Structure 1
Amino acid sequence: MTDREGDRDHRFSEGEGFDDSYDEFDLDPPELDVDPSKVDPVDSRVVTDTLDTHNIASDEVDAGELLDVGLNYMRINRYEQATDAFERTAQFADDDRLEQEAWVNKGVAHAELEEWDEAIGAHREALSIDDESEHAATAETNLAYALWEFGETAQALEHAERAVEIDERFAQGWFNRAFFLSERGLNEEALHCIDNAVRLGMHNAKVLEEKARILEDLGEYDEAEEIADEANEMRERAEQRLMEQRQEMHGQSGTTAGGEADREWELE
């Protein structure tokens, strides 16, 4: 394993359930029967207090709605509250698939907090439910990254390989496997993996930058430069779109009396 000091900005898979857009941020699903006048919307104890087993019966909780609460916490970078919401989701879920999704997302939230031991534990819990399900590949690749950050590099590659064995069309899994292989100097295999990720639709600046680095390590300097230029152009276009969106939002907020522009809670 090469020295990871100054390593690249690598983002692991974010788990199932992050692709959907949410029109609003609602801490109080109807099923929880909470009086909103008594709840501070940024109170970190909201989920715990409202779902304490002494205060509410499990059959009165919609675990799916609670999962959405956790995802919305993730959207506004309140990861500690998200971990609590996801743990409660797993506690109240009566469906294995939902429970597994909650554990996967809990692992992601812990990873955002760089709590690698807790992230590893959450992903292992997810895999203990079903190691062949639709969420298993995501759990495996996230577990791989958490293990790598925790210093368990050999295990990390094993789980990255397991992710694509479970789902050979899992683009993020191929990308993560490429990352771990390149870190071990196995660049030809890494290039094959990252090409798979691109073929499966994972085509963005981050992926192209990683491919350019692998090509450079293989001595393919001309192709590496070409790919790096494409990545830079893609990143510049994305930054330009973001700037235009911010300007548009600023213009909307300027015409709204006493309020803010509408926002869509949509994960990148």
Structure 2
Amino acid sequence: MISRLIPICIVFFVLCPVTVSQGITSEHWLKMGEEFTQIDSYKEALNAFNKSIELDPKSAIAWDDKAKVLQKMGMNNDSIKAYDKAIELAPKSALALIDKGNVLQDMELYNESIKAYNKAIEIDPRLALAWFNIGRALQSMGSYNESIKAYDKAIILDPGFKFAWNNKGKVLQDIGLYNESINAYDRAIQIDSRFILAFINKGDALRDIGAYNDSIKAFDQALRIDQRLALAWINVGNTLNQ
């Protein structure tokens, strides 16, 4: 019963008059914002983070959380400004730099995103996630060989990084190195035997080399894991291949 009342109480505090909310601390508003974010109530989350920042303008966490919500709302320019503030307050936050880079990448500002990722690497050279995102940006730019090198660096730092193996496989497939791409997908599948996207990409690569029976087997594996999700990915792939 109490757990059911919590969301109602949060809504009440966010929407209530200032006189009622005066006793709420910056940390309370921050927690409310995080709760709203978890249930995809982004406007309410943004309101809560703003109130948290009003009470504690130097909270790097509040600025970072605000930036994430703005990104989810598609307000990319405002998101970058909030990330910049978070980074100003916590200049050693490599993850904030990666998040900023991801927003820039969403805006197709790939060179700017790579600069943000490189700054994150300067702070933490062993951050596989930064190398992975550099690989994504280079892949989007069509710099395939450089993209593979970045994915390889991510994999060296984190051999169990299934998304890096999968993305490396996709680049190899795009440049016609099908056997190498299939090997990369297999590595991703070894790490996560329920990695639907890797099975589907493997199926695509096998189809590209005319191994139709093996291709069907890979698609069947994906369908066994999650039929609806697998069909959605397969349909997207078929559309792109038309």
Task: Please say whether Structure 1 and Structure 2 have the same fold, judged by a TM-score greater than 0.5.
Answer: yes
* Structure 2 Cα separation of the partners of residues 101 and 118 of structure 1: 16
Contact 1:171/1:202 (8 A) holds in 2: no
| 1:172-251 aligned within 5 A | 172-201=163-192, 203-231=194-222, 237-238=228-229
Question: Structure 1 residues 70, 201: CA separation in 2 closer, same or farther (over 3 Å shift)?
Answer: farther
Cα deviation 1:111-161 (Å, max 9, x = unaligned)? 1111212111111111121111xxx21111111121222243321111111
CA contact (8 A) 2:200 2:230 kept: no
2:38 aligned counterpart, secondary structure: coil
Identity %: 22
Gaps spanning 5+ residues in structure 1: where? Answer: 1-20, 35-58, 241-268
The answer on 1:66 being equivalent to 2:63 is yes
1:109-128 aligned at under 5 Å gives the runs 109-128=103-122
Residues 159-174 of structure 1: matches in 2 within 5 Å?
Answer: 159-174=150-165
Three-state SS of the structure 1 residue aligned to 2:112 is: helix
Deviates more, 1:226-235 or 1:208-217: 226-235
User: Which residue of the partner structure matches residue 9 of structure 1?
Assistant: none
Q: Does 1:87 align with 2:81?
A: no
**Equivalence for 1:75:** 72
Match of 1:104 among 93, 98, 120: 98
- How far apart, in 2, do the equivalents of 1:114 and 1:185 lie? 25
Give 1:220 shift. Answer: 2.2
Most deviating of 223-232 and 176-185: 223-232
* Equivalent residues of 1:187, 1:214 under 8 A apart: yes
Query: 1:163 Cα shift?
Result: 0.6
Relative to structure 1, the CA distance from residue 129 to residue 143 in structure 2 (aligned partners, 3 Å threshold; closer, same or farther) is same
Residue type of the partner of 2:64?
L
Residue 255 of structure 1 is matched in structure 2 by: none
Match of 1:249 in 2: none
CA separation in 2, counterparts of 1:190 and 1:85? 39
Contact 1:116 1:150 in 2 (8 A): yes
Partners of 1:202 and 1:230 in 2: how far apart? 10
CA–CA distance in 1 between the matches of 2:190 and 2:77? 36
- With over 3 angstroms needed to count, the CA separation of the structure-2 counterparts of 1:151 and 1:69, relative to structure 1, is same
Q: How many residues align structurally?
A: 190
The one-letter amino acid paired with 2:53 is L
Larger radius of gyration: 2
Please name the residue that 2:129 is paired with: 138
Q: Considering fraction of residues, name the structure with more helix.
A: 2
Q: Which amino acid aligns with 1:184?
A: I
* Partners of 1:82 and 1:172 in 2: CA distance: 25
Tell me the C-alpha RMSD between the 2 structures: 2.6
Quick one: distance in 2 between partners of 1:239 and 1:213?
Answer: 13
Structure 2 length as normaliser, TM-score? 0.68
Decide whether the 8 Å contact of 1:120 with 1:143 is kept in 2: yes
Aligned residue type for 1:65: A
| Distance (whole Å) between structure 1 residues aligned to residue 193 and residue 52 of structure 2 | 37
Check 1:219–1:239 CA distance in 2 against 1; reply closer, same or farther (3 A cut): closer
Distance 1:63 1:169, change over 3 A: same
SS state at 1:33 partner: helix
Q: TM-score, normalised by structure 1?
A: 0.62
Shift of 1:60: 4.7
Unpaired runs of 5+ in structure 2? Answer: 1-36, 232-242
The amino acid that maps onto 1:88 is: K
Distance 1:236 1:78, change over 3 A: farther
